[in-house]
Amino acid sequence: MRIDLEYRPRDPFVPYHARRERFSAIVAHRRAGKTVSAVMDLVDAALRFDALPDGRFAYVAPYYAQAKDVAWGYLKRYASKVPRVSVNEAELRVDFPTGNRVRLYGADNYDRMRGVYFDGVVLDEYGDMDPRAWSEVIRPALADRNGWASFIGTPKGKNGFYDLVERARSSDEWYLSILRASETGLIPPKELAALRAEMSDDEFAREFECSFDAAVEGAYYARLLLEAEQGGRIGRVPHDPALEVHAAFDLGIADSTAIWLAQFVGREVRLIDYIENDGVALDWYARALRERPYLYAPLILPHDAQARELGTGKSRIEMLESMGFRTSIAPRLSVEDGIEAVRRMIPQTWIDADKCAAGLRAIREYREKVDPKRKVSFGPLHDWTSHGADALRYLMTAYEAPRERKSARAVMNHQGSWLS
């Protein structure tokens, strides 16, 4: 049967629809039409798929509400051209008469996708997602049926999307397309000139010229980390066995716990390792620390570590101390003062790019929540980046540079009092 879905791809996306690679990455300027093209690629795949029964295809946005706002209208509009199609509004799902299905998801609740399989998936604005959504859930869901994946987005600094694009550049298994507004012809020159006049250089370079080097609006540490990278301070940072390792925690209960591991050498901070996980008990992190060949200074914990849990009647400080660790509490500072402390310290910080890769992604993307219309900031955006950023904040505020130390060195105990 021949079905006209009334979709005509824009010229820059014709090669994407004709690709044969299993994985693809599209870096596209704003208003290029990447979401429509990706949704239509899913619809086409669902209509043609007959290699296995009950084909399953998915569109994933950073947030479920965003998936509904951005893609659901397109999916319904084009899928409705297919006879006997079934639309499920409650589940944002379209079922085709062949038994194949396209469904929308949000990466903010990626655990919802555990246990399902996919024959094809689109990840829209992948740079805004927790990378574990792909590595822990979506990628395994493609394995047994040899499913394909497309990553689409506009740059927001050197985040996970950047890493993925760099991988695609050097792999024959990837299709890569970079669509800059100055080259696609999709936006009239007069309109581009008007946009350039109204936007900052970084904004225009990022949003319309697909620059990963442009600073991200509201990102607290992106510019400083770019300078660190250009200065050679992000790379291999070896562990010095003669020095203690300082482990700073951001403790989660229902979400992630993050730990930065650092050594202090003079005025230098060396970030040598990073640990993050979710859904596991505190003893998992204790084992992860013991498995590493480090001599630990007192663990640096946030103030809420003193709270007692209802189930055990113990605080997490008491639990860690019962496991043989010494503990301390980070100084009580406002979030804003803590962010400024991190900013002051990054120029004298060295970061191991491999062992700290997950933490580095988090602090690169850690940003403030801004109302773009009123240009009002509401403080840090709480998302998957917050855990690594908060742990780093506790580490840096607990650090005392040698020139600032008192003659009698002070160490804060877990009760919050200073011991000289």
With bands split at pLDDT 50, 70 and 90, how would you rate the model's confidence at 157?
confident
**Mind giving me the DSSP string for 139-171?**
HHHTTTTT-EEEEEE---SSSHHHHHHHHHHT-
pLDDT of residue 48 exceeding 90, the answer is yes
Vertex 323: Cα angle to 320 and 325 (nearest 5): 65
Rounded to whole angstroms, the Cα distance separating 281 from 67 reads 32
19 in Cβ contact with 9 (< 8 Å): no
Question: Domains (ranges, CATH) in the chain?
Answer: 11-207 (3.40.50.300), 230-419 (3.30.420.280)
pLDDT digits (tens, 9 = 90+) for 398-420: 985 443 544 334 443 443 333 32
Mean pLDDT of 20-33: 97
What rounded mean pLDDT belongs to the chain? 90
**Mind giving me the DSSP string for 195-253?**
HHHHS-HHHHHHHTS--SSSPPTTBSSHHHHHHHHHTT-EE-----TTS-BEEEEE--S
With bands split at pLDDT 50, 70 and 90, how would you rate the model's confidence at 2?
confident
Q: Dihedral, CA atoms, 114, 115, 116, 121, nearest 10 degrees?
A: 40
Mean pLDDT of 25-45: 97
Tokens read off for 2:
């021949």
User: Phi first, then psi: what are they for 26, rounded to 5°?
Assistant: -125, 115
pLDDT of residue 17 exceeding 80, the answer is yes
pTM metric for this prediction: 0.74
pLDDT digits (tens, 9 = 90+) for 289-321: 999 999 999 999 998 888 877 667 789 999 999
Q: Dihedral, CA atoms, 139, 85, 37, 54, nearest 10 degrees?
A: 20
pLDDT of residue 374 exceeding 50, the answer is yes
317 in Cβ contact with 288 (< 8 Å): no
